[in-house]
Chains A and B, each alone.
Chain A
Amino acid sequence: EVKLVESGGGLVQPGGSLRLSCAASGFTVSSNYMSWVRQAPGKGLEWVSIIYSGGNTYYADSVKGRLTISRDNSKNTLYLQMNNLRGEDTAVYYCAGGSAYYYFAMDVWGQGTTVTVSS
């Protein structure tokens, strides 16, 4: 069974930091493209970042310079390092991925982890 499990969310003050993790099973993080997608309360989906199998990374303009995507191939885990957090970063964060078979659509999703940025 393919499974992605996020962790690391929580309450953090503005300007603070948090690291999200996404542990994969039945699915190889390093062989596929992996993204973080977030959803603010009551809002739609917003793509945050992607890491390709080759290691290239890209970010939405709204998070560039503050959030960093990475992976640990030995642990089959994806990460999102979040620095200098703002209130507008409050959201459920999903990790998602897929293979080139799906033309870069995201066919595997985690259950999400909630990040709340508030003083």
Chain B
Amino acid sequence: EIVLTQSPGTLSLSPGERPTLSCRASQSVNSSYLAWYQQKPGQAPRLLIYGASSRATGIPDRFSGSGSGTDFTLTISRLEPEDFAVYYCQHYGTSPKYTFGQGTKLEIK
């Protein structure tokens, strides 16, 4: 079973800064099946990135994903006020079918 570990748990930054969120898999995974989601309080998650680096429809280009093997990264080039949220990485595999990381909370400093 693949375990996804996200770091840091919480990131305190100011608008305009450039955060890098990490997602590490316990074993090498197919990057085609690595996704990132954003979740704001009281809302459903929203797909940001699929296939490790492809932006979903309507996602601003300040969001970018990269990585392969066991190490994946979500970068926001310049933080906007609406970007403060919790971010989850997710892998689609065999058993279980989906695994989520524990999340990184991006909070306003």
Residues of A within 8 A of B (CB): 35, 37, 44-47, 50, 58, 60-61, 94, 96, 98, 102-107, 109-112
Pick from A35, A45, A94, A111: contact of B88, CB under 8 Å: A45
Roughly how many angstroms separate A34 CA and B90 CA in the complex, as a whole number?
16
Q: How far is the CA of A46 from the CA of B103 in the complex (A)?
A: 11
Report the bound CA distance from A109 to B35 in whole Å: 15
Chain B: number of interface residues, binned into ranges: 20 to 34
Q: Which residue on chain B has the smallest CB distance to residue A107?
A: B47
What are 29 A-B interface contacts by the 8 Å CB criterion? A35-B97, A44-B88, A45-B45, A45-B88, A45-B90, A47-B97, A47-B98, A47-B100, A58-B95, A58-B97, A94-B45, A96-B44, A96-B45, A102-B51, A103-B32, A103-B33, A103-B35, A103-B51, A104-B33, A105-B33, A105-B47, A105-B56, A105-B92, A106-B35, A106-B47, A106-B90, A107-B57, A109-B46, A111-B44
B84 at the interface (CB under 8 A from A): no
Q: How far is the CA of A30 from the CA of B39 in the complex (A)?
A: 26
A60 and B45 contacting across the interface, CB-CB below 8 Å: no
- Docked Cα-Cα span, A60 to B1, in Å, equals 12
The 8 A CB mask of B13-43 against A (1 = contact, 0 = none) is 0000000000000000000110101010001
**Chain A residues within 8 Å of B45, by CB:** 37, 45, 94, 96, 106, 109
Q: For the complex, what is the distance from the CA of A112 to the CA of B40, rounded to whole Å?
A: 13
A104 touches B46 (CB 8 A): no
Q: Which of A44, A50, A60, A102 contacts B50, CB < 8 Å?
A: A102
Inter-chain contact A94/B97, CB cutoff 8 Å: no
Q: State the Cβ distance, B23 to closest chain A Cβ, in Å.
A: 13
CB contact between B97 and one of A50, A98, A105, A110 (< 8 Å): that residue: A50
B99 at the interface (CB under 8 A from A): yes
Given contacts A103-B92, A105-B35, A105-B90, are A45 and B100 in contact (CB under 8 A)? yes
Chain B residues near A112 (CB-CB < 8 A): 44
